[in-house]
Structure 1
Amino acid sequence: MRVLCIFLAVVAFLDSPRAARAEDDLKTILEFTRTKYQVPALAAAVVKDGKLIAAGAVGNRVAGRDLPVSVDDRFHLGSDTKAMTATLAGMMVDEGRLRWNSTIQEVLGPLLPGLRPRFANITLRQLLSNTSGLPPDNEEIGRLYFSPDAVDHPPSDWRLKMISNWGSRHDPSIANVGKFQYANLGYVIAGAMIEKASGKPWERLMYERIFVPLGLKTAGLGAQATFGIYDAAVGHRIDSKGKVTPYPWGEAADLPAALGPAGLAHMSIKDFAAWAGWNAGEGKRGPAILKPETLKLLHKPVVEMQVKDPKTGAMKTGSYALGWGLSKFDWSDKPLLTHNGSNGMNFASILIDPDRDLAIVVATNIAGTRADPATLEVMKSLYAKYSK
């Protein structure tokens, strides 16, 4: 009966004049920002105390076409997927299948003989906090990701082949272990450790352990549009001359499948908000897919970070937890949980204030210099409005 009452209350709110005003206000913010930064589509949603209080989407699924987006359109989340991979790791720890200090050697060593010693001793916690000493993506790592041989292997198998290839030839620099270096390869390795511990592919775990329990019905992996159909906000690239080109389907529409644990999830802005709201609750609300103390541990800072913006040269500071960053903005009174995600064609951003039980998500179907400031501007406006 209590669940029914809550459901009826939510429906009543969504049908109320107050909800309509919130949606209109949000669409006004989104359309102004979308026009200002010339992005094809822009969507955002806000969850407070576990309830969706605002959601909106403006623009088109494909630039230059009259194909309006809706709040049910799927947007690509990029590296915002990392927090989901960290959540799966937390489940394995809760179940005694892994420890935070489980090493690559302990979990994958029997499958991958010949790993170099310092590489083999990297722990799960180091991988998830980007303190393993592994480098950011470089040309050599890129060749592993985009190898033509990858198509001949299931993603789980190719993850192991990439790990073996790299780990048998490279040790992390002693000087870099414990320091923050954003390493997608580290999340690929963490995904493989989760697969070995669970006996299931990472992709299946995402559906069974996160998407289905949290009711994320639009959630999926890979390019967000159905092949041959413009049924989602498809990604776009901008070339050096400013030309915008859509990439709706096929291999070019997303990164290789083996990179899933580092960033290949997609879902609607409302489902993205539901995921964010669950995190904002820090275990106060169901479903109880993690112990509350484990969820809080995922949000706890591990390492200070200073990341140089390659475009402006400015240093971005803050902390990194396990799949989450913590940043103090010039418009926030404290560090907030946040993360950005992009596959080079889309951009998504998430912001969580657990003290206020507030979550904000913003997404667009383009990347680069237009996307980052557009999403940040919307996030700033919504935080100012709903954090009071």
Structure 2
Amino acid sequence: MRRRMLLGQAITICLAARTARAAPPDAASLAPLLHPMLGQHGLPALAAAAVQNGRIIAAGAVGTRRWGTDAPVTLDDAFHIGSGTKAMTSLLVGMLIEQGRLRWDTTVAEAFPDLAAGMDAGLRGVTLTQLLSHTGGLPSDNEVFDRLLGQSFLQPGNLDALRTWLVGQWSTQPLASPPGSRFAYSNLGYIMAGAAAERAAGSTWEELVAARIFGPLGLATAGFGPAARLGRVDAPLGHQIKPDGTPEPVLAGPNGDNPVIIGPAGTVHLSVLDFAAWAGWHAGEGRRSPALVRPETLRRLHAQVVAMPPRPDAAPGTPGRGGYALGWGLLDHPWSTEPFLQHAGSNTLNLALVVVQPTRDFAMVMQTNIGGARAETALNALAEAIYRQYGPARA
């Protein structure tokens, strides 16, 4: 997920009425693993948790909300998860499919019948499954997409209207490849899928995700946009890296996150404990409540659709190898005999990683409030360390 320096308004939506999640009293502290990584990788803060059989077995949060200050992070602090949001969008689409409002093969033309006549012929037949698996033939983010994001701030209406506007503006562009022929990581594809969900349900994507996912799963810290409120340091600030290599905090504001129109592709924030609950629910693959979708729908979301060619130049937060399902990557690691569902996410100021092993009902999540290669190196190393110490293979 790439952040763009565009003028606009950032929003934060929270479920403040709920009580923040607490780690079980017998959960192990991950602080001994996390503290050394702060200095080793130059991170402002780092949070992580491990979940076995739906229970948080280890958790920790160390470091500062703002580089150069004494503002310690806590387990309740929300971090931005970038493209980790995509799995929420695919789950929402699965819910609407079960309700008969959409189908896996619903096409872009069917989702937006009022725009169909002016669409590129190739785009008309692209399906929701293809959008959610990055196989719809749409190009990866490009200059046309960036230009339309900038123009979106000048358009009237609520976010659902803006996303429909974006679909209409883009719809005359030719596809980069035939639908279903290859993988190309496309944030635009997820915005289109989110807009289709908005059309089908009659609400904004943010309203739908808050009501149908955050609420039932008890994700009290979850919201959209920068985790910190405007003018405050009440959550970890994202950080960019200055030319001399030191982190520079970025306050909430127009440059504090992706443009809000991108929502379905990556604007969610939440605490490490809520992130762990989200991951643990997926690790159960339908074995635990709440039953947001049928087990077979969840398995479909987790099943590989396409193999990705290796992308050595993949930006931190975007998949660079393995397979892709619907909002989830599939990846093998040398430190486990079983594959993982996995997704990283970044708005370039933060980086998050969720790693799920449904075959063993195990999951790990980790978050840091800085982006870039060093954050990616740190989270990958941390994932291996947590799995070796707390994973199901430790015995």
1:14 counterpart SS class: coil
Distance in 1, Cα, partners of 2:139 & 2:47: 33
Distance in 1, Cα, partners of 2:320 & 2:197: 31
1:340 corresponds to: 344
1:179 corresponds to: 182
* Residues 91-110 of structure 1 mapped to structure 2, 5 A cutoff: 91-110=95-114
Distance in 2, Cα, partners of 1:296 & 1:272: 20
Contact 2:152 2:166 in 1 (8 A): no
Identify if the C-alpha distance between structure 1 residues 116 and 40 changes in structure 2 by more than 3 Å, giving closer, same or farther.
same
Distance in 2, Cα, partners of 1:316 & 1:96: 34
Amino acid at match of 2:134: N
1:318 aligns with 2:328: no
Shift of 1:298: 0.2
Distance in 2, Cα, partners of 1:228 & 1:79: 25
- Per-residue Cα deviation, 1:235-276 (whole angstroms, up to 9, x for no partner): 011134324221121111001010000000000000000000
2:248 counterpart SS class: strand
Identify if the C-alpha distance between structure 1 residues 240 and 170 changes in structure 2 by more than 3 Å, giving closer, same or farther.
farther
Identify if the C-alpha distance between structure 1 residues 316 and 184 changes in structure 2 by more than 3 Å, giving closer, same or farther.
closer
1:88 aligns with 2:92: yes
Shift of 1:150: 4.1
Amino acid at match of 2:277: A
Distance in 1, Cα, partners of 2:293 & 2:386: 29
2:42 corresponds to: 38
- Per-residue Cα deviation, 1:55-79 (whole angstroms, up to 9, x for no partner): 1100000011100000100000000
TM-score by length of 1: 0.91
1:4 corresponds to: none
Identify if the C-alpha distance between structure 1 residues 311 and 104 changes in structure 2 by more than 3 Å, giving closer, same or farther.
closer
Shift of 1:99: 0.4
Identify if the C-alpha distance between structure 1 residues 164 and 311 changes in structure 2 by more than 3 Å, giving closer, same or farther.
closer
- Per-residue Cα deviation, 1:4-33 (whole angstroms, up to 9, x for no partner): xxxxxx99x9334xx3xx21xx10110111
Identify if the C-alpha distance between structure 1 residues 210 and 343 changes in structure 2 by more than 3 Å, giving closer, same or farther.
same
Amino acid at match of 1:300: A
Distance in 2, Cα, partners of 1:151 & 1:341: 28
* Residues 85-234 of structure 1 mapped to structure 2, 5 A cutoff: 85-111=89-115, 113-147=117-151, 149-150=153-154, 152-174=156-178, 177-234=180-237
2:185 counterpart SS class: coil
Shift of 1:147: 2.4
Distance in 2, Cα, partners of 1:329 & 1:72: 30
2:24 corresponds to: 14
RMSD over aligned Cα atoms: 1.8
After superposing on structure 2, the runs of 4+ consecutive aligned residues of structure 1 that deviate more than 6 Å are none
Distance in 2, Cα, partners of 1:149 & 1:33: 39
Contact 1:86 1:128 in 2 (8 A): yes
Identify if the C-alpha distance between structure 1 residues 348 and 198 changes in structure 2 by more than 3 Å, giving closer, same or farther.
same
Size of the aligned set, in residue pairs, is 369
2:262 corresponds to: 259
1:303 corresponds to: 306
Contact 2:239 2:350 in 1 (8 A): yes
Distance in 1, Cα, partners of 2:177 & 2:188: 15
Contact 1:150 1:158 in 2 (8 A): no
Contact 1:122 1:132 in 2 (8 A): yes
Amino acid at match of 2:77: D
Contact 2:351 2:369 in 1 (8 A): yes
Amino acid at match of 2:78: R
Contact 1:116 1:170 in 2 (8 A): yes
Contact 2:314 2:320 in 1 (8 A): no
Percentage identity across aligned positions?
A: 44
Shift of 1:112: 5.5
Shift of 1:53: 0.9
2:102 counterpart SS class: coil
Would you tell me which structure has more helix in proportion to its own residues? 1
Unaligned runs of 5+ in 2: 1-20
Amino acid at match of 1:282: E
1:237 corresponds to: 240
Distance in 2, Cα, partners of 1:148 & 1:202: 16
1:283 corresponds to: 286
